[in-house]
Structure 1
Amino acid sequence: MRFTPTVRWRLTAVYSGLFLLSGAGLLLITYLLVAGGFPVVKLRAGPADVIEVCTLSGETTATGTDFDACAAQAQRLIAAQQDETLRLLLFRSGAALAIMTVVSVGLGWFFAGRALRPLRVITAAARHISASDLHQRLAMTGRRDELRELGDTFDGLLARLDDAFTAQRQFVANASHELRTPLARQRTVLEVALADPDATVAGLRTVCGRVLAAGEQQERLIEALLTLARSERGLDRRDPVDLRAVTASVVSSHKEIRTYLSPAPILGDARLAERMVANLVDNAVRHNIPDGTVEVTTESEAGTTTLTVTNTGPVIPPGEVDRLLQPFTRLTGERTARDGLGLGLPIVAAIVTAHGGDLDVRPGRSGGLVVTVRLPASHGVRSQVARRQRYSSGL
């Protein structure tokens, strides 16, 4: 089996290698200093702090042939002593370095294990945590260092995953209920018609009309779910889109809407952009008060394209606004309303996110909602629109 070094082994090797290199460097420097720093030996008489050799009895210095023989012997002895001193220094220092290197391996292994202990805790938790127990947390304690920060980040990730899985399960449950309701209605209507022995052609036509209406509701719901899924997946490509033209096309069927449309170029998906505007406009019109107003504004400034839809609907508490972005949720206490699917604003939020924009939903001063969509502007679209307008005016 091939040995794969772990992080602990690698850290131990790094610690020990650095210790060995620094110890070898220190040994080399010490050896050179000792080799070049032996005391000066003077063979003739000199100051008291200089060693004197080759002196005869009576402390008289040797001369002539006696001095030469003594000097040669003294030089040999001194050289031999220096060599032995350096050898012993090298041997003993090397032995001490080898012993301390082995000790450093043990110490490196021990302290690397202590340093990596939080990682083992995170690894063990990641292995045992599944989709059914994402509520668990590491809750690491101790000093706030990089590993503690990693543990806190992991806890944050688990919290986001827990929220996402909870929202997904709730979404699936709500979608299943919304799909089952028209199916149950269709089945009930058909069973009643089949159980009636005196059913007439007109009655059967009425039944077929009700079944078709329920089928249309299913179709609209499925289309909305597909749009929501497509928006949350993101954009595969981005094309130039003139949001002003898209908005003008959507509001053309609503004569009561006030529009203030300026050039609004973006890069994105034209169909999703149209669905975003249509959902906002339909939501503003559907939830408006009698004789109320709806205003739609587009503009582009400082690299940001803005779409604002305002209506004069009922008063909405500020704390309840976030619920409007949840699928199949209404503020009336019911999960969905009869005239809508409860997916309008969630689809808008997903489309805005897919385009890299920002969605701001806040209650109006006297009621209703002020919905602002901010998307990155595309100057290329503006130039194309300007050229098209110049060409049209030239004709």
Structure 2
Amino acid sequence: MTIRNRLTLRFTGLVSSILLLTFVSIYAFCWYFISSDFYRRLDRKAMTTGELLIRHKIDAQVIQQLGRLRKDHLPNQNIVVYDQRDSIVFSAIEVPIIPLSKALLAEIRQARQKDFRQESYYLSGIRFRADSEQYVVVASAQNAYGDEFLGHLVLSLTGLFCLIAAITALSGWAFAGDALRPMQVIDQTVSDIFPRNQDERLFVSQEDDEISRLSITINQLLDRVGDSFRLQRMFVANVSHELRNPLTQINSQLEVSLLKEREPESYRQTIRSVLEDVGNLTALTHELLQLSQVNQDDAATLLTHTVRLDELIWDVRDEVAAIQPRYQVTVELGTLPDDPDLLTIQGNRTLLGTALKNLIENACKFSEDGRALVQTHFDQRTVQIRISNKGDAIPDADKPYIFQPFYRSRQTADLKGYGVGLSLVDRIVRLHGGQVSGTSEPGNLTVFTVDLYR
């Protein structure tokens, strides 16, 4: 069922329920008022007849004559008086229309006064005492006008209920359609965006309503999806480029070697060159494998170690120093906390070591003198690691892309590498719930900061 149909049904059901409760209340009030008024009139007639016949001993024929002369007769009115033996001692008409059982007369004597209905007649019974005898006076009549009014009232309220319910349903259908029209526009626009118009976005009105906020959220989602597509295309293009170069070199060298007979030393040179290219492919494949294995969904299974960061930094320093003799790494741990638990975080030691190694190695590689400075700061909730060096500043045009995979600026085009390191660092740090950022301005240090949270 569509949202429009559900809204229409719920709106119609709510209004119909309120309307039904109102109409039932109106009918119940009218029924109670008409019935009570009619019973009061019967009570007065029964009381009057009892006073005249029983208390004042007026002749029954005179009472009948007076009754015929009165102008306030009710439809099919009759007044019957029973003695204590349940025998009729007086009846306004010759033959009583409604016979009453002895049990019912006993109830009236016990209750002293009783209003009830029998078939289409309203009856009111009253007990009288006189000369040590008990009498029961029962006045009965048909409430023709009241019943007819209630019947017409039921028909009118039923017709009015159906009419209002139909109008409510049509109005609800129209209002729901008008309210959901922006959703239809959003659905059509989003359907048309992919794959043809990826740069198109939803219109956001000036009103601060749910539709506007939804449009903003969808536009932000489309921006992220568009960025993902661009990153994917760039990733594929860069991987293809990085793989094509060594494969082309391997292929061309082997083809040249097969063109004619050569000296053994020439074949050995070719084999060494091919082995070097195969080594580059292996290194690239290893970095791609590392990049693919760092997944946010695997955080629960990867972050199982208690890592002491000061020890990890010294170990990484030794590893970087072993890579290249000119690399010199200075570590400044600052003021260490008294509590050794503040030196640790929950994470993966191997991954954190890889991230720090990439940052420190890059700092040495792009430094003027091969030096890098590592500084740390520990507090109750945060561990901050700053890695800085002196070298050429990162161009402003390259700064938004330095953490994207396979992105290499013109400064790094001549250096060995694949542009995976910083992307891997960013993924590892985010996997640990932290963040990495970089600042680089001409004349100042280039600083990469890693913030890890407990």
Cα distance change, pair 67–86 in 1 and its aligned pair in 2 (3 A): farther
The alpha carbon displacement at 1:23 in A equals: 0.9
Match of 1:259 among 331, 347, 354: 331
Task: Show the counterpart of 1:294.
Answer: 372
Separation in 2, partners of 1:67, 1:118? 79
Task: Show the counterpart of 1:324.
Answer: 402
Match of 1:339 among 401, 405, 416: 416
Match of 1:278 among 344, 357, 363: 357
Cα distance change, pair 142–37 in 1 and its aligned pair in 2 (3 A): farther
**The 10-residue stretch of structure 1 (261-270 or 107-116) with the greater mean CA deviation from structure 2:** 261-270
Cα distance change, pair 324–71 in 1 and its aligned pair in 2 (3 A): same
**The 10-residue stretch of structure 1 (33-42 or 109-118) with the greater mean CA deviation from structure 2:** 33-42
Query: In the alignment, residue 362 of structure 1 is paired with which amino acid?
Result: T
Task: Show the counterpart of 1:200.
Answer: 263
SS in 1 for 2:279: helix
Match of 2:308 among 231, 234, 242: 242
Separation in 2, partners of 1:376, 1:106? 57
Question: Does the CA-based 8 Å contact 2:363-2:371 persist in structure 1?
Answer: no
Q: Residue deviations 1:81-100, cap 9 Å, x none?
A: 22222222222011111122
Cα distance change, pair 342–142 in 1 and its aligned pair in 2 (3 A): closer
Question: Does the CA-based 8 Å contact 1:361-1:369 persist in structure 2?
Answer: yes
Task: Show the counterpart of 1:373.
Answer: 450
Separation in 2, partners of 1:375, 1:173? 33
The alpha carbon displacement at 1:176 in A equals: 0.6
Question: Does the CA-based 8 Å contact 1:134-1:159 persist in structure 2?
Answer: no
SS in 1 for 2:384: strand
Query: In the alignment, residue 98 of structure 1 is paired with which amino acid?
Result: C
| Aligned-pair identity (%) | 28
Task: Show the counterpart of 1:112.
Answer: 176
The alpha carbon displacement at 1:275 in A equals: 1.1
Question: Does the CA-based 8 Å contact 2:392-2:442 persist in structure 1?
Answer: no
Alignment of 1:73 with 2:73, yes or no, is: yes
Cα distance change, pair 135–365 in 1 and its aligned pair in 2 (3 A): closer
The alpha carbon displacement at 1:187 in A equals: 2.1
Cα distance change, pair 297–371 in 1 and its aligned pair in 2 (3 A): same
The alpha carbon displacement at 1:280 in A equals: 0.5
Structure index of larger Rg: 2
Q: Residue deviations 1:278-337, cap 9 Å, x none?
A: 1001100100012x6411133432322222211112233556422322333334366x33
Alignment of 1:27 with 2:23, yes or no, is: yes
SS in 2 for 1:359: strand
Q: What does residue range 20-59 of structure 1 map to in structure 2 within 5 Å?
A: 20-37=16-33
Cα distance change, pair 164–331 in 1 and its aligned pair in 2 (3 A): same
**The 10-residue stretch of structure 1 (126-135 or 145-154) with the greater mean CA deviation from structure 2:** 126-135
Separation in 2, partners of 1:132, 1:218? 36
Cα distance change, pair 129–104 in 1 and its aligned pair in 2 (3 A): same
Query: In the alignment, residue 101 of structure 1 is paired with which amino acid?
Result: A
Separation in 2, partners of 1:132, 1:350? 31
Q: Residue deviations 1:8-67, cap 9 Å, x none?
A: 221111111112111111112222333455697998xxxxxxxxxxxxxxxxxxx96556
Task: Show the counterpart of 2:85.
Answer: none
TM, length-normalised to structure 1: 0.79
**The 10-residue stretch of structure 1 (278-287 or 30-39) with the greater mean CA deviation from structure 2:** 30-39
Task: Show the counterpart of 2:386.
Answer: 308
**The 10-residue stretch of structure 1 (31-40 or 152-161) with the greater mean CA deviation from structure 2:** 31-40
Cα distance change, pair 136–67 in 1 and its aligned pair in 2 (3 A): farther
Separation in 2, partners of 1:361, 1:67? 114
Task: Show the counterpart of 2:283.
Answer: 220
Gaps of 5+ in 1: 44-62, 378-395
C-alpha root-mean-square deviation of aligned residues, in Å? 2.9
Task: Show the counterpart of 1:229.
Answer: 292
Q: What does residue range 76-91 of structure 1 map to in structure 2 within 5 Å?
A: 79-91=143-155
Query: In the alignment, residue 16 of structure 1 is paired with which amino acid?
Result: T
Separation in 2, partners of 1:119, 1:322? 34
Question: Does the CA-based 8 Å contact 1:288-1:368 persist in structure 2?
Answer: no
Match of 1:353 among 413, 421, 430: 430
Q: Residue deviations 1:221-280, cap 9 Å, x none?
A: 111112122224543412122333322211114272111245642222222212101100
Task: Show the counterpart of 1:51.
Answer: none
Task: Show the counterpart of 2:9.
Answer: 13
Question: Does the CA-based 8 Å contact 1:312-1:367 persist in structure 2?
Answer: yes
Match of 1:123 among 187, 197, 203: 187
Cα distance change, pair 213–115 in 1 and its aligned pair in 2 (3 A): same
Query: In the alignment, residue 343 of structure 1 is paired with which amino acid?
Result: V
The alpha carbon displacement at 1:134 in A equals: 2.5
Question: Does the CA-based 8 Å contact 1:299-1:305 persist in structure 2?
Answer: yes
Cα distance change, pair 196–264 in 1 and its aligned pair in 2 (3 A): farther
Cα distance change, pair 98–37 in 1 and its aligned pair in 2 (3 A): same
